[in-house]
Amino acid sequence: MMHVVIIGVGAMGCLFGAFLSPLANVTLLGHWPEQLAALSHDRLALIGVDGRSNHYTIQATNDPTAVPPVDLALILVKSHQSEQAAALAKQILAPNGLALTLQNGLGNLEILTAELKPHHTALGTTAQGATMIKPGIVRHAGHGPTYLASTPATAGRLTAVARLFNQAGLTTHLVDNVDGLVWGKLAVNCGINPLTALLGVPNGFLAENEPARHVMMAAARETAVVAQALGVTLPYPDAGQRALEVAQATAANHSSMLQDILRGAPTEIEAICGAVVENGRYAGIPTPVNEKLHQFVINNQRLKIEDLLVAFNL
């Protein structure tokens, strides 16, 4: 049985913990006191996409010294916590262990690799959606595929991870286009996350509302143009259409950025829209949509649809 530690005890960490716990020895490692207290007193409640609840007994701790050496450290914290997560992973990995990031934004793999070296790090993306209802209760808000970027140094171990994920019901594929994987998810995140946070709406609203849908698809396509200028090929032909498909598939989900805004936590806007703006400047590509979304989130603004019409000349 694979030994798995999930670094991050939020919605996504709990979602993966619930799916993996029947098949692996799973521990959640994090620092959210209310969540740790809830999981220590009761089982994790996962509300499925169908509305049914299941309960899972999962060990949770804030003490890395209480964790035995692990085969897989699954990184599911916010991008601004990546350095801390990398240091934790280094403490708990077995000699042949692997740290796998499924985080949003750019730069997370590089932070892991600087701490752990390439042989011990891997990159993935996931379109699974989860919303934290309250400590100890998570809603699975949408199914989506998970992709793991395989390299010669990690292929064997990632094959085992993909097998575990698929057996657990998390549809997973191995790919070899690392940059395309990162930028492919980034384009979707740029379209969905800031808009849902600014408007205070679930993902599905962006698919249904014409002005919001227009801005979402424009932000995603703008990101794709920057990627293309950097020589990166995305894993789909149309970034705007892909963002729309993800918004529809995760319609009930509250994006991670919206959840951060609602609880007054720092967002990942710098690693998402901010990263597009920075790379756009480097490549000489204008990024007006991402620039505006970035600035709105930085300024902690709340928008209405009428504001979108004005801000984006719709």
| 172 & 201 share domain | no
Task: Say which DSSP state 232 is in.
Answer: P
pLDDT score, position 143: 85
In the chain, the largest separation of any two C-alpha atoms, in whole Å, equals: 56
Is the Cβ–Cβ distance between 146 and 125 less than 8 Å?
yes
Is the Cβ–Cβ distance between 273 and 297 less than 8 Å?
yes
185 catalytic per annotation = yes
User: Mind listing the pLDDT tens digit for each residue in 98-113?
Assistant: 999 999 888 899 999 9
Alpha-helical (H) ranges within 77-175 are 82-92, 108-116, 155-167
pLDDT score, position 144: 83
pLDDT score, position 65: 93
SS3 115: helix
Tokens of 265: 């936590």
Closest CA to 267 of 255, 280, 250: 255
Q: Strands 129-134 and 121-126, how do they pair?
A: unpaired
SS3 7: strand
pLDDT score, position 248: 93
| 150 & 20 share domain | yes
Tokens of 169: 């019901």
Is the Cβ–Cβ distance between 85 and 8 less than 8 Å?
yes
| 51 & 109 share domain | yes
The answer, yes or no, to whether residue 2 has pLDDT greater than 90, is yes
CATH number at residue 243: 1.10.1040.10
Measured between its terminal Cα atoms, the distance across the chain in Å is 54
**Mean pLDDT value across the chain:** 94
> Residue 266 region, left (φ>0) first, then alpha (ψ -120 to 50), else beta?
beta
Please give the residue range of the domain that contains residue 123.
3-176
| 51 & 199 share domain | no
**Which of 78, 90, 117, 185 is the catalytic position?**
185
Class of residue 306 by CB neighbours under 10 A (exposed 0-12, middle 13-18, buried 19+): exposed
| 218 & 242 share domain | yes
User: Mind listing the pLDDT tens digit for each residue in 66-79?
Assistant: 999 999 999 999 88
User: Mind listing the pLDDT tens digit for each residue in 4-54?
Assistant: 999 999 999 999 999 999 999 999 999 999 999 999 988 999 999 899 999
| 100 & 238 share domain | no
CATH number at residue 160: 3.40.50.720
User: Mind listing the pLDDT tens digit for each residue in 192-241?
Assistant: 999 999 999 999 999 999 999 999 999 999 999 999 999 999 989 999 99
| 12 & 150 share domain | yes
Average pLDDT over residues 154-163: 96
User: Mind listing the pLDDT tens digit for each residue in 241-260?
Assistant: 999 999 998 888 889 899 89
